[in-house]
Amino acid sequence: MKGTDNKEELSGKKLTLTDKIYHDIKDDIIAKVFQPGEKLNIKELARKYQVSDTPVKQALQRLAEEKMVVNTPNKGMSVRALTPHELQDIFDMRLMMDTFFVKDIVTTLNYNQTLRQQLIDCLEAQRKFVENSDSNHKPDEFFELDMDFHTLYLTASGNQKAVDIFRDLQPFTYASGTYVSQPHYRDCECVEEHQAILDAALASNLDALKAAVTTHLNNSRKALLLIFKVNQIVCPEE
């Protein structure tokens, strides 16, 4: 099954059959083998991946928990779709949270050396990733690094509900196919914008932190909305 050998190698543990089917379906969603809004029939998927229904059901449940798949009563499973309005709402929420907690975040990073170092390490991992992945873009890996950075940032607020809301919102952009279409140069820009956010936070400069966060989220909003519109033009049936 495609892509699973490397994942198994990297994780250091043997993948179960459900793990393998989960990765295969996820990869096919990312590659748009399955289009946003497309119904996912369990028996058809079982035939496609040459397995029984059970691991397919379990894999789809995991994808539903990650917001990549929607389970609609009486209709079954389908690939999650995203509208421009929903994308705007997501960034409005993120901007509100990320700027509201700047004082708490700065205070926490002043004394929490572990969290501060985790942010520094995460940013370094992002920088290494974009330097080594120009011709082999792996959106799922950069997405995880991006998620880690913003999760750590909001963790410094001390508000777990804000972290939970962020984790609940962000997969929408990934599942819709907008994030995975982000060009490499935008990944590079994100790293520099993350650096500006971290520099301002570590310098305890509240105004600079608010400005850096606002710039980053608005740039990401514009980039993803543009990708969304292009995808809609190229693939009007979506």
Please tell me the predicted confidence (pLDDT) of residue 228: 74
Residues 67 and 168 sit within 8 Å (Cβ to Cβ): yes
Please tell me the predicted confidence (pLDDT) of residue 172: 63
User: In the block, which residue shows the tokens 């606002």?
Assistant: 214
What's 180's DSSP letter?
Answer: G
Please tell me the predicted confidence (pLDDT) of residue 191: 96
With H, G, I as helix, E, B as strand and everything else as coil, classify residue 178.
Answer: coil
**What is the Cα–Cα distance from 212 to 190, expressed in whole angstroms?**
11
Residue 188 confidence (pLDDT) above 80: yes
Global pTM exceeds 0.85: no
Tens of pLDDT, residue by residue over 47-58, are 999 999 999 999
Six token digits for residue 107: 């205070």
Per the model's pLDDT, the better-predicted residue between 141 and 194 turns out to be 194
Query: How much is the mean pLDDT over the chain?
Result: 85
Which of these, 102, 88, 87, lies nearest to 154 by C-alpha position? Answer: 102
**What is the Cα–Cα distance from 174 to 30, expressed in whole angstroms?**
8
Which of these, 180, 199, 183, lies nearest to 130 by C-alpha position? Answer: 183
